[in-house]
Structure 1
């Protein structure tokens, strides 16, 4: 098992807690985020950040930027605590966030395309646990 995969697996527990904080908590605080997620304007990216699906408006771009700044701050703190890189931690968080999407929500597939979650498990990176 390569060291990157070992690092990813070691970070899963922390990312599980993280995605619970970074996504649903923000949705509860910001109705615009919940609406954008529900209508497919935004989706979870494989890199652990929120992405815009389709046409960006200034308000949507601001919303996504704000959420991603918050996520990066959490990823940075958690990566330092877990002796990992921010990118490793963010990728692990992306694996978990995509796994937690619900039918109808958008997510980024390993090939980079945007997919709409069905009742089937989402497509995820091969390194995802």
Structure 2
């Protein structure tokens, strides 16, 4: 597994230079690059988010606790493509804003990031979450 850290801006996560490096920004990451998504923490609105333009990305803008509007598009695409999705430590806010039920097949939500990551890793073994799309035949 090769994790990629995605955030609103480049640099490092956290307040100091010792945090994990950001490999992609919300403006440069595409859902096709990932086999699974893990939203670790509530993705706050970046200073470079432009209200009128980025509102089209799928999430509302403004308000306390509202996730960055650019997070909705990759989450919605990953959900439609049957990819595993995890949310921990506040990431459930992004799922809710994107219209993704936290109890849907292949969606793991919880407070413990380690537990969510372990369950998400197990889901990667099946490549897609086919139970999300019931058979109509």
- TM-score over 0.5 (shorter chain): no
- State the TM bucket, normalised to the shorter chain: under 0.3
TM-score, with length taken from structure 2: 0.26
Higher helix share: 1
